[in-house]
Amino acid sequence: MSGATLDPRLANARVAPRKKFQFSWADPRFRSLVWQVVIVGGIALLVWYLAHNTARNLAARHIATGFDFLGKSAAIPIGESLLPFTSSVSTYGLALVIGILNTLKLAVVGVVLATILGTLVGIGRLSPNWLVSRLTGIYVETLRNIPVLLQLFFWAALLQTLPGPRQAFHPIAGVFLSNRGIKLPTIDWLPGHLWVLVAFLIGLAGTIAWSRAARRRQDMTGVKPLVWPAGVLLLIGLPAVVWLALGLPLALDVPALRGFNFAGGMTVTPEYGAMLLGLVLYTATYIAEIVRTGILAVPQGQWEAAGALGLGRGQLLRRIVLPQALRVIVPPMTSQYLNLIKNSSLGVAIGYAETVSIANTTLNQTGQAIEGIAIIMVVYLAFSLSISLFMNWYNARIALVER
């Protein structure tokens, strides 16, 4: 690897004319060409050798390649799915789609919760209150030094030890905690709700308009009219009035014990609960550290200047510190989000039906190892790429605008 000795700036700075390409070891360009041919050739040879072996092994074991198996019916018992799935009737393709949706369901909720928790903990570590900063510090130092897989096993085991449906914990009406998961009541959609939603959207538009008007007024007069009373009135008051006017339409689907299990309501399965709890608590420790270093990266003078202007602590954080800290926070945050998504593949260890777990079952049942692993990799590469693209766009948006 002795090819690239020349810095491109050096090449430009030279007075000597560009030398002719020579087939001699003394010419750096010739050397780099030779090295590239050797390295690329070596890798190509290795890949060819492996592919050749694979083809022979597949032929010897009578395994057909191709993605035809996706259309066959799959005998996979799937605990939870967002789409209707019948084991031994529905196809492997549908099972994989369900797995991808389950991964997304876990990743989206996990990212949001981990960001909220991580930000709170990160700010908490900088709190002037000794107890708060110590407790958050202990939380961060402990959980980030224990493998996430161990934590997931722990939460899964803990949720398994909850009592059965008949002795379920019943903290508030309509909520049950048992080893079948968490049961929550849901609200049935009624026609009248549409108007409430419309009223809420009108209120949202009104709030945005009001806050813009307030901003303009502040620019002109220096006095900012209060925004939050108008916001409360428009966002909560208006829908509430519409709801009242329609005669309070409401139908709750409350879970109830029927026989040995619950009927009605919404279920958070123990597997999903354990995955979510484990991933959020683990990732939040990293996010907390990122937020903490981001805030510490804002120079002390910025805090003091904001204090000198008479800003309160809330305004100081929201208007001065956060916009500057975000520039430091966003890039490492991206890789934590990606880590959370990649760690969601550990669902395979505790029986959560996500992409890897379903792909693994598929490849065990059909023997299509290459295709199964290719699917896992393509799916995760797609996730990684799309998150990277989005975060790069966001990063560019909040970046410092210089002259």
Owner of token pair 């019943």: 170
* Nearest to 183, CA basis, from 172, 191, 174, 192: 174
**In terms of CB distance, is 267 or 343 closer to other proteins?**
343
Spacing of C-alpha 189 from chain mean position:
29
* Span 338-357, contacts to other proteins by CB under 8 A: 342-343, 345-346, 348-349, 356
Q: Does position 6 bind other proteins by CB under 8 A?
A: yes
CB-CB contact of 97 with 76 (8 Å): no
Owner of token pair 């030779």: 34
Q: Residue 20: CB partners within 8 Å, gap ≥ 6?
A: none
**In terms of CB distance, is 324 or 388 closer to other proteins?**
388
* Nearest to 183, CA basis, from 82, 252, 115: 252
CA dihedral sign of residues 79, 83, 88, 91 = negative
E-strand ranges in 99-184 read 176-178, 181-184
Residue 143, Cβ neighbours under 10 Å: how many? 18
Q: Does position 205 bind other proteins by CB under 8 A?
A: no
Q: Which stretch binds other proteins (CB under 8 A): 134-142, 163-171, 304-312, 318-326?
A: 134-142
> How many residues touch other proteins (CB under 8 A)?
61
Q: Does position 147 bind other proteins by CB under 8 A?
A: yes
Q: Does position 224 bind other proteins by CB under 8 A?
A: no
How far is 316 from 298, CA to CA, in rounded Å?
Answer: 12
Least CB distance to other proteins at residue 74 (A)? 18
Least CB distance to other proteins at residue 177 (A)? 16
Q: Which of 58, 109, 214, 326 binds other proteins (CB under 8 A)?
A: 58
Q: Which of 112, 369, 389, 398 binds other proteins (CB under 8 A)?
A: 369
Owner of token pair 């039906």: 353
Least CB distance to other proteins at residue 172 (A)? 20
How far is 183 from 262, CA to CA, in rounded Å?
Answer: 8
Least CB distance to other proteins at residue 354 (A)? 11
Q: Hey, what are 77's tokens?
A: 């018992």
Q: Which stretch binds other proteins (CB under 8 A): 106-114, 145-153, 227-235, 323-331?
A: 145-153
Binding site for other proteins (CB under 8 A): 1-8, 10, 28-29, 32, 35-36, 39-40, 43, 50, 53-54, 56-58, 60, 128-132, 135, 141-142, 144-150, 153-154, 157-158, 342-343, 345-346, 348-349, 356, 360, 363, 369-370, 373, 376-377, 380-381, 384-385
